[in-house]
Structure 1
Amino acid sequence: MAQTAANAIISDLRDRIQHLESGVARPKTVLPFGVRELDERLPGGGLAYGAIHEFAGGGAGAVDGAAAAMFAGGIAARTKGKIVWCLARTDLFAPALAQVGLHPDRVIYVEAIREKYVLEACEEALRFGGLGAVVAETVRLPMVISRRLQLAAEGSGTIGLLVRRWRRQTEAGDFGHPATAATRWRISVLPSEPLPVPGVGRARWLAELIRVKAGESADFEIGACDAQGRISFLSDAGDGSDQTSRSVNTG
């Protein structure tokens, strides 16, 4: 009986140590959008934790690039915990992030003087664990670095969101080549939602899922992230009439 009790205590201690070494345990392995039309296209019904996801604007302009950043920001907003946002350019507009649910008190900004330091900071943050998400803005993503980031994300279980930003269209040549990312998205701006009165309606985006592991690519016309980071699916996107939102708070 004494040996049995001792074994039970040892087993309990091992479980506690494993829990401490593995960081914060996550009850879920994916972060769903809460919109069936998107989630059913993603393995497990959402964006995988412990993985890297890539986002880029659909064109060379700043508007589409900003939409891609806001899409990633809305995803980060629906996670739990602090967000580390790594960047080399100092043009990120914090009030816009707040509008998609990512409030300044949750974000730790890491500003680097060179892009390679952005990726190094991203890797360190991913390895740290215990964060809601790690976001990094980068122009290039070499295969070796992409693999290192994926291994860091896998080790901690943190979701990594890479926003690709290009100064020139020629810099976009490697987008889609590294096969490490679990999903790869291209976000383009569409005309805003029409209103029955003069004014500007909710922003709308074309979200192209151009790569997903163990899945198929697809295009979606969606309503931009709201103040909780939620998107909406435009059920009648074909004719632009009577759009209905199907979204829930899944944070």
Structure 2
Amino acid sequence: MSQRPHPHSQSPDASHRADGDATDVPARLASLRARVALHHGRDAPRKTLSFGVHAVDGHLPGGGLGLGQLHEVAPAAEGDEPAALGFALALVARRLAAVRGEALLVIAKGHPMPYGHGLAGLGLDPNRLLLFEAGSDRDVYRALEEALRAGGNGGPAAGNGGQAAAGGGLAAVAGLVDAGIPLIQSRRLHLAGARTDGLLVVLRPAGAESPNVAATRWRIAAGKALRDRFGCIERPCWRVRLDRCRNGRTGDWLLEWDHATHRFGLAGALAGHPPEAGACGPRAGRP
């Protein structure tokens, strides 16, 4: 006569399997965490845009500006707005030099629009820059977010070892606003940018600080620019101060920009003579 197994009894094999599952729980949890982190891009190394200057890149996590992250740029003081805009556009130009695609600059109404000659003087091809005037800061953030969600990736430039993801799209997205970057808008941009390999920069006025999630904060003042024999600016120069850097270090440098090679350098180093010391010189005009 057959007997039914006791409802609470367990075969030796089942007991062994249960014990084995219990011992594997930490490993399984670790594997699950790794899969979730990979899904959210936390485990993958973030691509960067380097300055090409060890003194600067050494302060930044990953050796450059994190792509797909929000970076905040501000004038050091009233009157340094053209310098801050020039610095931000130089970053855009350096990005475009390495990848295909275009850049988008969204400007709040009332600010002067950059003109072609000034853009070319920074090494920016006006044909690769989309300019959009927004009615308010809110419209600026909305346009930036929509652009990022639509596809803020650029593919490597032909013949260049670019770091961008494959595919077309916007290689850089920048905004010029009238006030500090609000926390909520910065979070929305951060989330939208995290899905891309694009450069994301927002330029705000001097003294308009507000809590936000930007990965870096830069303060820019005009430096003594190198001029040609006609008195025209040959190499823009900026006093660059890194005020905040998540997982990195702050710093202060005097940088020059070579528009022909799309290279930053310590002031004077590009010309082959010792870097200048001292205060910033005359301010350059707007791009």
State the TM-score, normalizing by the size of structure 1: 0.74
| CA apart distance, 1:112 | 1.3
Q: Distance in 2 between matches of 1:100 and 1:145?
A: 29
| CA apart distance, 1:57 | 1.0
| CA apart distance, 1:225 | 4.7
SS at match of 1:156: coil
Deviations 1:141-189 (A, max 9, x none): 11000110111100223221111136xxxxx24x2x4241111101101
Q: Distance in 1 between matches of 2:231 and 2:130?
A: 35
Deviations 1:18-45 (A, max 9, x none): xxxxxxxxx9700111111111111111
Residue correspondence of structure 1 range 177-196 to structure 2 within 5 A: 177-193=210-226
Aligned to 2:239: 206
Q: Is the 8 A contact 2:235 2:258 kept in 1?
A: no
Residue correspondence of structure 1 range 96-111 to structure 2 within 5 A: 96-111=118-133
Aligned to 2:78: 60
1:237 aligns with 2:253: no
Aligned pair count reads 204
Deviations 1:85-143 (A, max 9, x none): 10123512222122112111001111112221111101111112221110100122110
Give the aligned residue type for 2:197: G
Aligned to 2:24: none
State the TM-score, normalizing by the size of structure 2: 0.65
1:70 aligns with 2:86: yes
1:131 aligns with 2:170: yes
1:118 aligns with 2:118: no
Task: Give the alignment partner of residue 199 of structure 2, picking from 147, 155, 159.
Answer: 159
Task: Give the alignment partner of residue 112 of structure 2, picking from 91, 103, 110.
Answer: 91
Name the CA shift for 1:193/1:142 in 2 (closer, same or farther; >3 Å). Answer: same
Task: Give the alignment partner of residue 37 of structure 1, picking from 55, 58, 61.
Answer: 55
SS at match of 1:223: strand
Give the aligned residue type for 1:48: G
Q: CA RMSD in A?
A: 2.3
| CA apart distance, 1:224 | 3.3
| CA apart distance, 1:204 | 1.9
Name the CA shift for 1:45/1:91 in 2 (closer, same or farther; >3 Å). Answer: same
Q: Is the 8 A contact 2:57 2:63 kept in 1?
A: yes
Unaligned runs of 5+ in 1: 1-26, 167-171, 241-251
Q: Distance in 1 between matches of 2:171 and 2:113?
A: 19
Name the CA shift for 1:54/1:108 in 2 (closer, same or farther; >3 Å). Answer: same
Aligned to 1:149: 189
| CA apart distance, 1:202 | 3.2
Name the CA shift for 1:198/1:104 in 2 (closer, same or farther; >3 Å). Answer: closer
Q: Which structure has the greater CA radius of gyration? A: 2
Unaligned runs of 5+ in 2: 1-44, 152-168, 279-287
Name the CA shift for 1:104/1:217 in 2 (closer, same or farther; >3 Å). Answer: same
Q: Distance in 2 between matches of 1:142 and 1:28?
A: 24
Q: Distance in 1 between matches of 2:150 and 2:258?
A: 28
Q: Is the 8 A contact 1:70 1:96 kept in 2?
A: no
Q: Distance in 1 between matches of 2:118 and 2:49?
A: 22
Give the aligned residue type for 1:40: G
Give the aligned residue type for 2:190: Q
